[in-house]
Amino acid sequence: MKRSSRRSPAAALGLRLAALVCLALAAAPGLAAAAPRIYDAHAPAASLDGKAAPAIPPPPPEYHTEDLGWIEFAYRPSTRDRVRPLIVHAGAIRAELSALLGREALVAPVKVRIAAVPAELDNLVPGGLESAATAASFGALRLAVLSASPRSGLAAPDLESAFRHELAHLALDEATGGAPLPRWFHEGFAAHVAGDHAAGRAQRLSVAALRGRLLPLDTLEESLPGAGDAPGSVAYAQSADVLRFLVEGERRHGFTRALDAVRAGAPLASALEAAYASTGHELELAWRADVARRYGFVPVLLGSLLVLGLLVAGALGVQRLRGRRSPAPPAPHRRLRAAPEARHRPARTSTAQLVATLGARHRSESDGDAGVPKVEHNGRWHTLH
């Protein structure tokens, strides 16, 4: 008997309903195992496109494991000296994130895998790491992977800064309940917490502010480059500084309210406007005014003083150098003089002789016989006739 190829209307309707249910399950993040998202400062944000397994692979058997309860470290023993500061400072970083987010951060356990070389990262990530990064985090898996060594041609990574960066990604993802956020917002928060490339970012913002080349905030997402070029871009520097502005001082309470609204399902732009009681344009103007004060006048003044100080120091240094190199003036010639001849001085007249001479002169002046010769005998004077 030949089977009919036509399906009944009930069967067709059942297949359509099953297809719709499958699509709904695939779209619902809480009902199906969604592909974990990657947040990374050195590579474009991407998903694993369904290639990742839902479970984290165990660390290699030669890795050493240290569990602090809320965070678990697994690292190669050769990196122990560089990993120890991360373990010591992990609690302080968690407390700092809690203060910034206005809630306890990293409540769910976090796993950190630290490879000795970048080539080992593919063995630590479900499905492998599809980027040239030396650090990455996966919000859905509560996983952060780091490499203690750079890729060829790059400087050695700052392991503690990268660790802070990836924990910030995980904490922000946890605070918003995994709600979708623009990449510039995620990267800006992580860069601000980590403080990575802070000097370079300040320099780029200062130059952009003085030249009037700051990017509009609504173009940051499309202006943020990928891969290793992101930290060196103006868009990356602006992203970090906007987040610095949003969490600084009294504005931190508004930042916490905005995250709560995002967690409840509100879009980020609407949440920020409601939390700060300002429109997006007003927030941007306030940030630009803050940038002008922070990176405009003050850096120019400090730079001018620094240049002036360097010029004065250089002039003094050149003067001292010339003084050392110039020959010493010759010593003046001294003429040899003959020893002066000793002059004979007559002996001083005694007092008795002086009295006798004066007395004789007085007598001769008072005596009328001045021209008559006289002689002294036994203290008496006799006139010769």
Sorted by where each begins, the domain ranges of the chain are: 36-175, 179-318
Most confident range (mean pLDDT) of 70-74, 114-118, 157-161, 213-217 is 70-74
Q: Tell me: the pLDDT tens digits for 277-311?
A: 989 999 999 999 988 888 865 555 556 667 777 87
Q: How many CB atoms lie within 10 A of CB 324?
A: 7
Across 194-210, b (16+ Cβ under 10 Å) vs e yields bebbeeebbebbbebbe
CATH of 36-175, one of 3.10.20.30, 3.40.30.160, 1.10.10.10, 3.40.50.1100: 3.40.30.160
**Residue whose token pair is 């195992």:** 33
Q: Give the DSSP H or E segment for 65.
A: strand 64-67
End-to-end CA distance of the chain: 210
Q: Single out the residue of 219, 224, 206 nearest to residue 303, CA to CA.
A: 206
Give the span between the Cα atoms of 190 and 168, in whole angstroms: 5
pTM of the model: 0.65
Q: Are 259 and 186 in contact (CB under 8 A)?
A: no
Q: Single out the residue of 175, 165, 179 nearest to residue 99, CA to CA.
A: 175
Q: Tell me: the pLDDT tens digits for 247-284?
A: 998 899 999 999 999 999 999 999 999 999 989 999 99
Q: How many CB atoms lie within 10 A of CB 59?
A: 20
Give the span between the Cα atoms of 149 and 81, in whole angstroms: 13
